[in-house]
A and B are shown apart, each in its own frame.
Chain A
Amino acid sequence: MNTKISHHIYGWLLVMPAVILMGTFTHLPSVTTLISSFFSNETKKRPSIFIGAENYEYMFEDPVFVEAVMNNLWYSLGTIIPSIILAIIMALFVNSKLPGKTLLRMAYFTPTILPMIAVSNLWLFFYTPDIGLLDQIGALFGLESHNWLGDTNTVLACIIVITIWKEAGFFMIFYLAALQNISPDLKEAAALEGSSKLYFFRRITFPLLMPITLFILINATLNSFKLVDHLFILTKGGPNNASNLILYYIYEVAFSFFDFSYAATITIFLLVILAIISLAQFVFFDKRIHYR
């Protein structure tokens, strides 16, 4: 009995610092975000008052918000699938017996450890009209110069390419880990049977990579709603909001327009999206555990 009670006390004492800090900076602000989304914004002239769902009604009619959500959907789709495909290809390259594979692995992985701000500085040069590398290459083929980041039709694609570049190498290492877990016996057996490399990939490697693909898929989706650093350098959400994303819009509303209540409302929307994706993760992973 005595040890039981001391277990409760010690347990609580040990988690206390973590609980207090996390409560203050994760749980408490989540709740206050919800509360302030039901109130009007406090200004010097007018105090904050309860306005029910008015902020939410405004949000769904706000064309900039709707555009940011649509952009974010395209951004997610456009970054996740290509970076997963590239990650698998990279992992296969690095896992085979190619010459210089250590250097290759380094080349693929390096973007992961660079800050998004530095990455944006590097890429800005590629997209600059006339003197930028993209236009210089285009000029070789007689193409006219193009303002890639200034055109509403191309700006989102430019942002997507950078994100793929940044993330593919990171996802590669998870595939690499999975590939290294595939038993060499399987490969030997396949070689004895005389099956082609492509056949082996399609029937053995790819199915074995499915669980890790699910894991990466969910994490990539979460990332696509949280990664907006490059917008600060490259586009500031423009031109005409063509590259605005949800989290960037939250920042703009709060710290450029100083409408904290409305920013809280959009934050709740983002939290709901993140919660749905995370729940999907729980459901899928529970299933995976049952299979074992």
Chain B
Amino acid sequence: MKDQIRIFSIETISSWFLGIIWISPLLYAFWAAFHPQEYSTNFDLTAPIVLDNFIEAWSYAPFSRYFLNTFLIVTFILLVQFVICTLAAYAFARFEFFGNKILFYLILIQLMVVPEVLIVENYKIMSQLNLVDSIIGVGLPYVASAFGIFLLRQTFKSVPKELEEAARVEGCKIFSILMRVYVPLAKPTYLAYGLVSVSYHWNNFLWPLVITNSVETRPLTVGLAIFGAPESGVNWSIISAGTLLSVSPLLLGFILFQRQFIQSFMYAGIK
């Protein structure tokens, strides 16, 4: 028993030590952002707490526009993903149509060939479609998501067929069966997939960097990269404030709905 308590405390100390190391870059950003610049590398606990850095960061770069762009991109992608993936997943789960197996494998290829890898050719395609530097251009390569189709197909397949037949007897057509039987039963999947998709696209960088070139379309990540570049000459405290500003919605959401976030990532990853 004595032995167990000793191990227990070593475990406690080391787990907390690791935890503090893990969170320290973020803690430091809070320190730098909320204190005057001269305290950014001087950890004096009596340093005054100020909001100047946030105000200045906000005035250095058009953050409000970037926020709007990111919000539009994420919403556009999520809504279209839900529609397209639901339809396709329903087909793969419940219809024996010609070529369905080959088609499904072809779709799964996207799990490997993510749009980031194809930036060069996708840029050319977007310029042919006249969608360079547009919100739709940022979102379009992602809306038909193999991951979403796969996840929803698994869920739809687990819905008992009797439910569908009962609905059919009541005279429901294919589309209303989908909307009344399948979609409501797949709510947890939509929540999990939605959270993963929003986090992914809120944070996505490479493709938006390639396809946007104006303030009107640039998402937060790209704006932040320009803002934080050493050439811009902005100091530490302000960069920290800007960084915190741009991660705050997702960070706040995560802190409030920690369980759902972690469960969603778990659920989506393991399926």
Contacts and interface: CB of A to CB of B under 8 A. Distances in A.
Contact of A121 (B98, B143, B243): B243
Interface in A225-268: 226, 228-229, 232-233, 247, 250-251, 254-255, 260, 263-264, 267
Contacts of A11: 91, 95-98, 100
Nearest to B244: A118
A18 B206 contact: no
A250 B240 CA distance: 30
B205 A173 contact: no
Contacts of B265: 112, 170, 173
A43 interface: no
Nearest to B114: A226
A58 interface: no
Given A7-B95, A98-B15, A233 B112 contact: no
Contacts of B92: 15
A278 B15 CA distance: 34
A232 B96 contact: no
B18 A89 contact: yes
A256 to B, nearest CB: 12
A82 B73 CA distance: 35
What 10 pairs across the A-B complex have the smallest Cβ distances? A11-B97, A115-B203, A29-B121, A11-B95, A14-B91, A21-B144, A18-B88, A93-B15, A25-B141, A107-B19
A173 B15 CA distance: 16
Contact of A174 (B229, B246, B266): B266
Interface stretch (A69-77, A123-131, A199-207): A123-131
Interface string A91-124: 0011010111111111111111111111111111
Contacts of A136: 41
Interface residues on B, range: 35 or more
A11 B98 CA distance: 8
Nearest to A29: B121
B113 to A, nearest CB: 6
14 contacts: A8-B95, A10-B174, A18-B84, A28-B125, A33-B118, A86-B18, A109-B262, A111-B22, A115-B202, A116-B205, A122-B243, A124-B239, A197-B7, A226-B116
A19 B103 contact: yes
A14 B270 contact: no
A30 B113 CA distance: 8
A17 B22 contact: no
A93 B205 contact: no
Given A18-B87, A233-B225, A174 B258 contact: no
A226 B206 CA distance: 10
Interface in B1-51: 7, 11-12, 14-16, 18-20, 22-23, 25-26, 28-29, 32, 41
A102 B258 contact: yes
Chain A interface helix/strand/loop/mixed: helix
Given A28-B121, A177-B266, A255-B210, 8 more contacts: A9-B97, A14-B88, A18-B144, A29-B124, A122-B28, A229-B206, A232-B225, A267-B120
A113 B251 contact: yes
B67 interface: no
A26 B109 contact: yes
Contacts of A131: 41
Nearest to B229: A233
B212 interface: no
B186 interface: no
Contacts of B28: 122, 125, 133
Interface string B171-214: 00010000000000000000000000001001111100110000
Nearest to B23: A107
A81 interface: no
